[in-house]
C-alpha cells in the first residue's frame, strides 16, 4: 500500500472521526480538521494531526492547506466530510439560514477543493472524496434545503470529475444511508423550534416519529461502515465514481430510480 497524505474535514465526530482514525492506523499520514479541536484530541494517539478549521472561513482554509504542504510537501487525498442537515418548512427557514447551509455543505467544500487542486495538478495525481448522502438522490419531508445541497454536490462532483481527469485527479462520491451518528438529534431539535408550531406542526411530528423509528441500532449502520468504504476509495488503484454504503442506501436509490414521483411520495409517507 502506498502511504498517502490525507486531509479530512468534519473529523470531530461520527464518520469523519472514524475515518481519520482508521486511515491513520492503516499507515497513512492523516490530518483531521474541524471547528471543535477539543473533540479531536483523542485522535492524536492514532497519529492524526489536528487542525482547527471552519470550512466557511476562506483564510483558515488557505492556512490549513499551506501547513500541510509545508510539513509534508504534498496532499494526495482530500475528504470533504464536514456538513450538517437543515430541516424545517421552507416557509419557516430564513434565506440567511439556507445560505449558510450551502456555505457549509457546498461552497466551503468547493473552496477547500480549489485550494488543494494546484498542488495536486503539479504532482500529477490526487483524489477528491466528497461525502454526499443517499439524500443526494432522494428527498424527504421538510428537508428541502438539505437535499438541495446534496443534489448540488452530486452534480458538482460529476462535472469536476470530467475537468480533473486529464490531470490525474479522481473525484469520488460516497453516499451513506442511515448511519448511527447524532444526525437525527441535531436535526430534530432545530426543526421543532422552526416548524413545530403552526401550519407544519403535524408534519414535524410525523418526521420526528419517523426519525425515532429510522435511527435505531437495528435500522442504521455504525460510522465504521462508511469509514471502511472511505478507506477503500482512498486505496483503490482505480476507484469507483460512487459508493453507496450503509443501511438502506442501495434500496432507496434503486426505488427512487424505479418508482414515479407520486409513487415515491407515497412510499415516504408510509414511514
Domains and their CATH numbers in the chain: 5-269 (3.40.50.720)
Cell (9 digits) for 130: 466528497
Pairing between β-strand 169-176 and β-strand 242-245 as defined by DSSP bridges? parallel
Count of alpha carbons within 13 Å of 21, Cβ hemisphere only? 16
Instruction: Find all residues with CB under 8 Å of 141, minimum gap 6, and list them.
Output: 203, 206, 207, 268
User: Are 176 and 249 within 8 A, CB to CB?
Assistant: yes
Say if residue 53 is exposed, middle or buried (CB neighbours under 10 Å; 0-12, 13-18, 19+). buried
Active-site annotation holder among 146, 200, 215, 243: 146
Distance, in Å, from the CA atom of 164 to the CA atom of 125, rounded to the nearest integer, reads 10
Distance, in Å, from the CA atom of 194 to the CA atom of 200, rounded to the nearest integer, reads 10
pLDDT digits (tens, 9 = 90+) for 117-154: 999 999 999 999 999 999 999 999 999 999 999 999 99
Q: Let me know if 146 is a catalytic residue.
A: yes
- What is the reported pLDDT for 104? 97
pLDDT range class, residue 216, cuts 50, 70, 90: confident
Q: Let me know if 12 is a catalytic residue.
A: yes
pLDDT range class, residue 234, cuts 50, 70, 90: very high
Active-site annotation holder among 4, 12, 133, 247: 12
* Helix (H) / strand (E) containing 130: strand 126-131
Does the pLDDT of residue 212 top 80, yes or no? no
Q: Where does 11-128 have alpha helices with state H?
A: 14-25, 58-72, 95-102, 108-123
Active-site annotation holder among 4, 17, 137, 150: 150
pLDDT digits (tens, 9 = 90+) for 157-199: 999 999 999 999 999 999 999 888 766 667 888 899 999 999 9
User: Are 108 and 86 within 8 A, CB to CB?
Assistant: no
User: Are 89 and 142 within 8 A, CB to CB?
Assistant: yes
Distance, in Å, from the CA atom of 173 to the CA atom of 17, rounded to the nearest integer, reads 18
- What is the reported pLDDT for 186? 72
DSSP state of 165: G
Distance, in Å, from the CA atom of 84 to the CA atom of 10, rounded to the nearest integer, reads 10
Q: Let me know if 260 is a catalytic residue.
A: no
User: Are 51 and 45 within 8 A, CB to CB?
Assistant: no
Q: Let me know if 125 is a catalytic residue.
A: no
Active-site annotation holder among 115, 132, 133, 220: 132
Amino acid at each position: 500500500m502506498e502511504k498517502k497524505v490525507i486531509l479530512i474535514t468534519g473529523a470531530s465526530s461520527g464518520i469523519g472521526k472514524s475515518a481519520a482514525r482508521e486511515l491513520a492506523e492503516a499507515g497513512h499520514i492523516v490530518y483531521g480538521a474541524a471547528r471543535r479541536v477539543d473533540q479531536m484530541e483523542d485522535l492524536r494517539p492514532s497519529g492524526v494531526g489536528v487542525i482547527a478549521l471552519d470550512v466557511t472561513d476562506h483564510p483558515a482554509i488557505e492556512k490549513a492547506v499551506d501547513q500541510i504542504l509545508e510539513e509534508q510537501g504534498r496532499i494526495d487525498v482530500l475528504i470533504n466530510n464536514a456538513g450538517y442537515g437543515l430541516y424545517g418548512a421552507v416557509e419557516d427557514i430564513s434565506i440567511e439560514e439556507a445560505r449558510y447551509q450551502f456555505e457549509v455543505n457546498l461552497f466551503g467544500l468547493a473552496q477547500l477543493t480549489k485550494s488543494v487542486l494546484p498542488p495536486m495538478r503539479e504532482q500529477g495525481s490526487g483524489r477528491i472524496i466528497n461525502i454526499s448522502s443517499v439524500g443526494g438522490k432522494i428527498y424527504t419531508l421538510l428537508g428541502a434545503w438539505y437535499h438541495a445541497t446534496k443534489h448540488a454536490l452530486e452534480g458538482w462532483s460529476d462535472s469536476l470529475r470530467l475537468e480533473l481527469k486529464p490531470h490525474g485527479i479522481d473525484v469520488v462520491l460516497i453516499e451513506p444511508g442511515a448511519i448511527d451518528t447524532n444526525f437525527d438529534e441535531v436535526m430534530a431539535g432545530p426543526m421543532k423550534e422552526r416548524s413545530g408550531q403552526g401550519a407544519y406542526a403535524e408534519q414535524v411530528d410525523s418526521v420526528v416519529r419517523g426519525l425515532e423509528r429510522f435511527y435505531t441500532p437495528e435500522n442504521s449502520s455504525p460510522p465504521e461502515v462508511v469509514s471502511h468504504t472511505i478507506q477503500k476509495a482512498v486505496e483503490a488503484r482505480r476507484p469507483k465514481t460512487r459508493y453507496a454504503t450503509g443501511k438502506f442506501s442501495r434500496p432507496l436509490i434503486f426505488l427512487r430510480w424505479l418508482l414515479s414521483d407520486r409513487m415515491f411520495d407515497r412510499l415516504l409517507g408510509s414511514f
